[in-house]
Amino acid sequence: MTVPRSTLRLQFHRGFTFDDALAHIEYFAALGISHLYASPVTTAAPGSMHGYDTVDYTQVSAECGGEAALKKLADKLHERGMGLIVDVVPNHMGVAGSGAHNAWWRDILEWGRHSAYARHFDVDWHSPDPALRGKVLLPCLGAPYGDELAAGRIALRFDADTGRFNIGYGDHLCPVCPVDYATLLQTAERADLTALAERFRGLTTQPADQPRAAQACDALRDFAKQHGRAPIEFVLQTHAPEDPVTRDHLHRLLERQHFRLAWWRTAADEVNWRRFFDISTLAAVRVERPEVFDAVHALVFRLYADGVIDGVRIDHIDGLAEPREYCQRLRQRLSELREGAPYIVVEKILARGEALRDDWPVDGTTGYDFMNDVGALLHDPRGAQPLAAAWAAISGRSAAFADEALAARRKMLTENLAAELDRAARAVHRIARDHLATRDFTYTSIRRVVGELAAHFPVYRIYPQNGLRSAADNVFFERALDGARQTLSSADRRVLEQVDAWLGSGADEPASLREPASLRGGVTPPQGAAVGAFNHAAAARRTVQTLFSQLTAPVAAKSIEDTACYRYGRLLSRNEVGADPGEFALSVAQFHAGNLERARRFPHAMLVTATHDHKRGEDVRARLAVLSEIADEWSATLRAWSTLNTPLRRAPDGDTIVDALTEDWAPGPAAEAMLYQTLVGCWPPDLTADDEAGIAALAERVAQWQLKALREAKLRTNWFAPDEAYENACRAFLLDILAPQRRDGFLRELCAFVARIGRAGAVNSMQQTILRLASPGVPDLYQGTELWDFSLVDPDNRRPVDFARRAALLAEKPPSGFLASWRDGRVKLAIVQRMLALRAHLPELLSHGTYLPLGVQGAHAERVIAFARRHGNAWAVVIATRLAVPLLGSAAAPANVDADAEANAGDHAQSDLPLVEPARWEDTAVRMPEELVARAMFDWVSPAAPKVEDDGLLYLRDALTSMPIAVLVEDGVPRA
């Protein structure tokens, strides 16, 4: 396997194509990247800006340049000794426009259960709702069905190019089943159309009849070309929605189709196919089926076999029915296509204490776990309690994130994922009905139990094998059981215990529960029937376990990342994908433990601090983390700013100014507090209060974030039922507080505060960057984040990147040379370039080297993290400043900072550098490995060559003289 040294994530779309990436290959190579890491390259819905709404797995996206351009890009990469990794989306496909661009989806809408692709999608063809049996719910209407039909917005259409009838609604085109064409053509009462109708007479939906239907449609197409549309217009008029009689004909035609058009609001309660989370334009596919697996990966396998790509990233692994089996099958197939082991990483959200499974043959995760670890490391644990208390006092909401999470889970289960909960509960209920002892367990009681388990489930899902949960599963399942026991009534406890067993507890059950009903009653069936009954029972349990897992995963994602994280504002730097905002900080020892575990189990996992899905840019989070060190001051600042801007508050039903004593106002205390945090976090380092154009541009970006944040919180407004008056009032408040007339008021205070914490934020950013580049794993660089990344949630974090500017900023000198001008971000770019050069010079050291945590002692030991990497006789020692506010002199010195050190710091404490004055470190030192005591070391990121004392101590006053970080290697290693 060619393990990447480092990767660069690129988001491809029609605005940034394979040819665009090709134009920057020399920059990527000069930066030191070994592999490009591409967003999905398969054909997505037209205009897709992300590629996760695949509509054709077999073709490279033409909008991105097509297969020829992709191969040209790969060839150029290979010429430069680089490679290509692509994102694969095996869980779902795009079906927007009722699948107008998705041939698989259109086929099942046309032929229903007899479609060649009917089992490709996870459709419940046996819905308990008679109106949906054998049909697919299409919740695409903007208003109730009857209203839209009466308004004439649903119509019968004819496509002369294909000879097909469709039901049209806006951009949606739903195919009419050819079985109905004979009746349709006869309604016009024309001899020529009646003759054509004969071609369709006797058709059924059976697969054997579908080729004849295609031939008949070809004849209809040829007829339309020869005679024009006029004859067909007679057919369309007999189903025109404007007249009550013909509208009834249209309705009756719709009732006969294999789809049911419905108001979009019905999706949460009635959708009978698995979606990606709660998104009704993304339909889940059954990749666990061999024929679907082959179809989904046909292009990927061909590109890998041809040497075009070198590895894959698997999107949303937890959406799959059998992640372990999927990974095993994928690795086996890829290994058969080419010599060497393929590089495979999976997108997996891991909770604290949850490990990636050993029996998944992958190289690790895509790095959210590392992003969580390094992000928590930046926070001062002493800020947790006061910030939580301040948040509760200001917002009136709970101080504990767990409370918000549970409320969000219940809301998602009730309002957004009710259909998915119903489907899982029905599967359990079917098992209950098969046994005498449980046949009286009602559907409603089972639904309550399953709902409570899902509401309290602390991780994405379980991974049972052979119908049983593992010990690792039970660690988290027991927590869900405890939560359910506390909230369910005693009458439901027996149901809970039984559901626990069916979900794989392995608890002993009475024989009457283990035996199918057909084996009881004194009749002994044939051996074959007994085996079949047991197999049926086992299959039913596996179905229940799969449906439960495919319920808890979207509940976790939508409740935590997309709801609770927008409601809870203790400190937004901890509200990130893959993180638990309830976990405020991580100690140095805990961070080391995570790195050691990663090095031992998945040494080639990705390391990320920014992604296409992040809520806030890596440097936004790094700056906001500084607030944990000045919790009391920040809390006072929040209150002062709120008081200052009180005259600008709006009525929630409009943009009129309200009285200061009004209790209900826009944006409201919680949203206002989050807004101030966001402004502090994303404010560009060089933006001043009198830069009207710059502030106006930032205001538009923040307004876009604010709208998304308010809707995701689902409190005063949401995506399904937006309160536009409230949203407009919130926007007006934002634009008002950033208006030019505030330059001597709020804007001046905001700029001053950002300047006040800016240096500490930059120190955090450099610490975070060096840890990503030097820790065990494969560092990934998200596009454009070589410079400061003050982006917000998508689409802000997917804006165009000026790679030419970044290429022009590359320089062959150490990062310390750019520290004085740190605001322009060149120091960060230089750190990235320099460290990737070290990875190229000593590839084994940072890819396979042993990870050794190093002890730190002295007055400020808690403000340092240090470790060594060793491979053979090669060493690198990494040292980084952390929790730097007191030492930078930008806050009141805490009690443990010596007064003399404060005085001796001199003017440097007031300087503009994100660097601790060396004297402030006092006796703080790193305990170096014995092997390095006598060796000459130099700093890879500065001109320093600090000396290790004979007692094995390396003093920070010597090591961190010109940078807040150091990477010490032996003299003799060629400098980049």
Residue 595: partners with Cβ closer than 8 Å, 6 or more residues away: 373, 775, 776, 851, 867
Shortest CA distance to 964 belongs to which of 911, 909, 915?
915
pLDDT given at position 526: 52
pLDDT given at position 512: 41
CA distances to 483, 862, 870, 951, 966 from 857, in Å: 43, 8, 22, 13, 17
* pLDDT confidence band for 962 (50 / 70 / 90): very high
Task: Answer whether 555's CB lies under 8 Å from 318's CB.
Answer: no
Ordered domains of the chain (ranges, CATH)? 7-91+287-366 (3.20.20.80), 96-277 (3.30.1590.10), 400-562 (no CATH), 620-754 (1.10.10.470), 803-970 (no CATH)
pLDDT digits (tens, 9 = 90+) for 660-685: 888 899 999 999 999 999 999 999 99
Assess whether pLDDT exceeds 50 at residue 183.
yes
pLDDT digits (tens, 9 = 90+) for 914-951: 999 999 999 999 999 999 998 899 999 999 999 999 99
pLDDT given at position 300: 98
* Mean pLDDT confidence for 250-267: 97
pLDDT given at position 971: 65
Shortest CA distance to 737 belongs to which of 623, 640, 647, 633?
647
Looking at the DSSP bridge assignments, the partners of residue 220 are none
Residue ranges of alpha helices (H) inside 526-626 are: 527-556, 588-601, 618-625
* pLDDT confidence band for 514 (50 / 70 / 90): very low
pLDDT digits (tens, 9 = 90+) for 301-345: 999 999 999 999 999 999 999 999 999 999 999 999 999 999 999
pLDDT given at position 506: 82
* pLDDT confidence band for 188 (50 / 70 / 90): confident
> What is the four-CA torsion angle of 18, 21, 22, 24, rounded to 10 degrees?
170
pLDDT, averaged across the chain: 94
* pLDDT confidence band for 519 (50 / 70 / 90): very low
* Mean pLDDT confidence for 637-649: 97
Please give the share of the chain, as a percent, with pLDDT higher than 70: 94
pLDDT digits (tens, 9 = 90+) for 854-871: 999 999 999 999 999 999
pLDDT given at position 516: 46
* pLDDT confidence band for 655 (50 / 70 / 90): confident
pLDDT digits (tens, 9 = 90+) for 528-557: 666 666 688 889 999 999 999 999 999 999
DSSP labels, 140-170 = EESS-HHHHHHTT-SEEEEETTTTEEEEEET
Assess whether pLDDT exceeds 80 at residue 527.
no
Looking at the DSSP bridge assignments, the partners of residue 43 are 56
pLDDT given at position 531: 65
Least confident of 435-439, 525-529, 594-598, 968-972: 525-529
Q: How many CB atoms lie within 10 A of CB 910?
A: 10
C-alpha to C-alpha distance for 46 and 33, rounded to whole angstroms:
30
pLDDT given at position 659: 87
pLDDT digits (tens, 9 = 90+) for 586-631: 999 999 999 999 999 999 999 999 999 999 999 999 999 999 999 9
CA distances to 42, 51, 54, 100, 524 from 46, in Å: 12, 10, 10, 10, 60
Assess whether pLDDT exceeds 90 at residue 796.
yes
Return the residue matching tokens 């945090």: 677
* pLDDT confidence band for 898 (50 / 70 / 90): very low
DSSP labels, 727-776 = HHHHHHHHHHHTSGGGTTTHHHHHHHHHHHHHHHHHHHHHHHHHHHHHSS
For the chain, the first-to-last Cα distance in angstroms comes to 27
The predicted model scores a pTM of: 0.94
Assess whether pLDDT exceeds 70 at residue 657.
yes
Task: Answer whether 575's CB lies under 8 Å from 568's CB.
Answer: yes
Residue 332: partners with Cβ closer than 8 Å, 6 or more residues away: none
pLDDT given at position 934: 84
Task: Answer whether 8's CB lies under 8 Å from 780's CB.
Answer: yes
**Identity of residue 599:** A
Strands 275-276 and 279-284, bridge-based pairing: antiparallel
Assess whether pLDDT exceeds 80 at residue 393.
yes
Distance of CA 246 to the CA centre of its chain: 47
CA distances to 555, 615, 887 from 610, in Å: 24, 9, 28
* Mean pLDDT confidence for 126-149: 95
* pLDDT confidence band for 405 (50 / 70 / 90): very high
* pLDDT confidence band for 972 (50 / 70 / 90): low
C-alpha to C-alpha distance for 623 and 677, rounded to whole angstroms:
10
